[in-house]
Amino acid sequence: MGETLGAHVFRAKQIAGDFEARFGERPRIFHAPGRVNLIGEHTDYNEGYVMPAAIELGTFVAASPRTDRRLAVHSMQFDESCEIEIDAARPRGDWTDYVAGVAVMLERAGFRIGGANLLIASDVPLGAGLSSSAALEVAVAMALAPGPVEAPALIERRTLAKLCQRAENEFVGVQCGIMDQFIACHARAGNLLMLDCRSLEYAYVRLPGGVKLVIANTMVRHDLAASEYNKRRAECAMAAAYFGKSLRDVKLSDVDGAAMPDLLRRRARHVVTENARVLEARAALERGDLRAFGNAMYRSHASLRDDYEVSCAELDALVAMARDLRGVHGSRMTGGGFGGCTISLVEERHLDEARRALMRVAEVYVSSPAGAAVEIMDF
Ligand code: GLA
């Protein structure tokens, strides 16, 4: 934790320098983390359970205020600049939509934005399923409505998460659930977050020491990802309509006995069994049983592959590979699917071995559960 904060301050110093060179002012700097989901996939938009953690990769947004209702934005990652007129903001179909969308939703929620100069620097890989978009949205929202320095939490964090999700749903046009924005706002270092996506009640579950999150990036993102995501949402809505209730309230015996098309039955079965697996995984973690936790991860992957059909050959191969490595408790695809990353829980003493093996076929990031979005001070 201290190490991460130290690294953040170091990075913030550099970013402040870049900002001053570009905008001639000293900024305030905000940071929001990417995330990895340990278990509970495609359950958030079904009012179910998820168990993500923030990771040590994240997005920095440096900001200074303007008074002309404009956002002058520069992205270091794209090496691109743009100007957004808050009163005339329209989606353009690129990265600037996350910034404009958040500004529009803040205004709709009653926060008046004078305008801002913004510089964005991120180390969350794009399109890898590690929530680079949620990290950007949350850091931008904090930068645009920062509150006074002595009380930076102007917006209550649950509201902040919902507002960023709305930006993505209504402005960017992606029908994501609440998981990614919520974890960026509520993560706690060293812990997984157990979230009930219906009530938004949450609890922290400590990851035992000596275990690391090992993320393996297939570096592929199949074109179907967005359209298939929306299709799964629609199929879940159809299945829920069939049962006359949210899939959260459906029992496995209802699914097995239902006279419904096989495809809808399998979609429902994934959601119902996945919710049960999250509860099982939480209990396992609370009693320190990483083997049982890992076993739930493997079964989650199989269900996503066979019943929900959102995995792909590259993800399946990485999970199969991790399974054969020493010190791996569990492994599965993480995020929406159709490419992106796998997450494996790995014993620290076998970390080098596991990392080296996975690195032969994937880009690998090692992390501990990181903290939530913050304003970086004292840089
Ligand atoms: C994406 C979405 C999330 C969630 C996952 C699947 O990451 O943004 O809301 O639905 O897919 O679990």
Catalytic residue among 180, 262, 289, 352: 180
pLDDT above 60 (res 152): no
What spacing in Å lies between the alpha carbon of 317 and ligand 1's midpoint?
Answer: 22
Q: Which tokens hold the place of 340?
A: 């992106």
pLDDT above 60 (res 2): no
178 pLDDT band (50/70/90 cuts)? very high
pLDDT of residue 223: 81
Domains in the chain and their CATH numbers? 2-37+49-207+370-376 (3.30.230.10), 211-367 (3.30.70.890)
Packed helices 157-166 and 132-144: angle between N→C axes, nearest 10 degrees? 120
Which atom of ligand 1 is the closest one to the Cα of 133?
8
* pLDDT, averaged across the chain: 95
What spacing in Å lies between the alpha carbon of 42 and ligand 1's midpoint?
Answer: 6
pLDDT above 80 (res 4): no
| Candidate from 37, 44, 168, 185 with most ligand 1 atoms within 8 A of CB, to mutate | 44
Contact predicate 39/194, CB 8 Å: no
pLDDT of residue 372: 96
What spacing in Å lies between the alpha carbon of 164 and ligand 1's midpoint?
Answer: 14
63 pLDDT band (50/70/90 cuts)? very high
* Nearest in space to 342 (alpha carbons), one of 43, 133, 41: 41
Residue 24 CA, chain-centre distance (Å), reads: 33
pLDDT of residue 291: 97
Which atom of ligand 1 is the closest one to the Cα of 37?
12
The residue whose CA has the least distance to atom 8 of ligand 1 is: 176
Which atom of ligand 1 is the closest one to the Cα of 336?
11
What spacing in Å lies between the alpha carbon of 34 and ligand 1's midpoint?
Answer: 13
Which atom of ligand 1 is the closest one to the Cα of 179?
9
Contact predicate 154/72, CB 8 Å: no
Let me know if 180 is a catalytic residue.
yes
pLDDT above 60 (res 203): yes
pLDDT of residue 148: 55
The residue whose CA has the least distance to atom 11 of ligand 1 is: 336
Query: pLDDT of 262-313, one tens digit each?
Result: 999 999 999 999 999 999 999 999 999 999 999 999 999 999 999 999 999 9
Give CA–CA dist 75/365, Å, rounded: 23
Burial of 120 (0-12, 13-18, 19+ CB in 10 A): buried
Residue bearing the bigger pLDDT, 120 or 127: 120
* Nearest in space to 301 (alpha carbons), one of 286, 318, 289: 318
30 pLDDT band (50/70/90 cuts)? very high
Packed helices 225-243 and 262-286: angle between N→C axes, nearest 10 degrees? 90
Residue bearing the bigger pLDDT, 146 or 105: 105
Per-residue pLDDT, averaged over 25-52, amounts to: 98
Residue bearing the bigger pLDDT, 26 or 147: 26
Which atom of ligand 1 is the closest one to the Cα of 134?
8
In the block, which residue shows the tokens 């993102």?
Answer: 221
Give CA–CA dist 308/300, Å, rounded: 10
| Candidate from 37, 98, 180 with most ligand 1 atoms within 8 A of CB, to mutate | 180
Contact predicate 53/36, CB 8 Å: yes
Which residues line the pocket of ligand 1, CB cutoff 6 A? 41-42, 44-45, 176-177, 179-180, 335-336
pLDDT of residue 226: 85
For 66-75, 152-161, 211-220, 349-358, which range has the lowest pLDDT when averaged over its residues?
A: 152-161
Per-residue pLDDT, averaged over 149-178, amounts to: 86
Name the strands in the sheet holding 49-50, side by side, starting at the edge strand that comes first in the sequence.
49-50, 191-196, 202-206
What spacing in Å lies between the alpha carbon of 40 and ligand 1's midpoint?
Answer: 10
Calculate what percentage of the chain has a pLDDT beyond 70: 97
Q: Which tokens hold the place of 134?
A: 């949620």
For the chain, strand residue ranges (E) read: 28-37, 49-50, 52-65, 70-75, 80-85, 116-122, 191-196, 202-206, 211-221, 328-334, 339-347, 363-367, 374-376
147 pLDDT band (50/70/90 cuts)? low
Contact predicate 370/187, CB 8 Å: yes
For 90-94, 109-113, 202-206, 307-311, which range has the lowest pLDDT when averaged over its residues?
A: 109-113
The residue whose CA has the least distance to atom 2 of ligand 1 is: 176
Kindly give, in sequence order, each residue whose CB lies less than 8 Å from that of residue 262, ignoring residues fewer than 6 positions away.
none
For 62-76, 80-94, 220-234, which range has the lowest pLDDT when averaged over its residues?
A: 220-234
pLDDT of residue 88: 96
The residue whose CA has the least distance to atom 1 of ligand 1 is: 336
pLDDT of residue 222: 84
pLDDT of residue 7: 84
| DSSP string covering 347-377 | EGGGHHHHHHHHHTTSEEEEE--B---EEE-
What spacing in Å lies between the alpha carbon of 343 and ligand 1's midpoint?
Answer: 15
80 pLDDT band (50/70/90 cuts)? very high
pLDDT of residue 187: 98
pLDDT of residue 154: 62
The residue whose CA has the least distance to atom 9 of ligand 1 is: 177
What spacing in Å lies between the alpha carbon of 179 and ligand 1's midpoint?
Answer: 7
Per-residue pLDDT, averaged over 2-23, amounts to: 90
Which atom of ligand 1 is the closest one to the Cα of 178?
9
What spacing in Å lies between the alpha carbon of 69 and ligand 1's midpoint?
Answer: 32
